[in-house]
Amino acid sequence: MKEIRKLPASAGAQWLLDTFSLYRRAPLQLARIGLTWLLVSWVVTLLSTLIPGAAGMAVQLMTLAISPIMFGGMLYAVGEIDEGRPGLASHLLQPIRDHRVSHLLVPLAIQVLAVLLLGALLFLMIGREGFTAFSEVMTRWKRSAAVASRSSRTMLRRWWPTCRPSASHCGCCWCS
């Protein structure tokens, strides 16, 4: 284990200033890497909503596995930029190339085990009937949320002064 060093409080402020200066040196590179990460996460999330059932849930869980890997790649890219080399979007996959995926997924595995343990404890506490009741409540809640969303749009159309039902609409999202 590495030696623990005590640092003055000003070291944190200096770290923050160094971070902003690093971003100032390569804003487009870091933005491109961040947007790539965002796009990958968005595509996986979109796929999880389009694929029904357990397969969609599996794709959604894949997001949990992708995030630590992408975060490790982002740190690698920032290190490359700090050393004066270009930061590339392909750096997001660097933990896979360096065979460090297991290091990044250990905290995730601990979290998954904790969720499974808590789920089992919840099942022991409330039983099958409790889960059935919870499912019914969630179904009713989703239905009432959908109804509330439709009724709020109707009320806004009625009360919004420029959104009158005429031949020319104002172009806001409620008129269309």
Whether residue 159 is predicted with pLDDT greater than 80 in this model: the reply is: no
Whether residue 126 is predicted with pLDDT greater than 60 in this model: the reply is: yes
3-state secondary structure 89-145: HHHHHHHHHCCCHHHHHHHHHHHHHHHHHHHHHHHHHHHHHHHHHHHHHHHHHHHHH
pLDDT above 90: percentage of residues in the chain: 15
d(CA 74, CA 146): 38
- 57 vs 8, 19, 43, 98, 131, CA distance in Å? 46, 37, 14, 29, 18
Tokens of 51: 């694929």
Half-sphere exposure of residue 20: CA atoms within 13 angstroms, side-chain side:
5
Residue scoring higher pLDDT (149 or 63)? 63
Task: Look at 63-77, 100-114, 160-174 and tell me which has the smallest mean pLDDT.
Answer: 160-174
pLDDT digits (tens, 9 = 90+) for 15-44: 888 888 888 988 999 999 999 999 988 898
Domain boundaries, the chain: 10-99, 101-147
pLDDT at 28: 92
Predicted TM-score (pTM) of the model is: 0.59
pLDDT at 39: 93
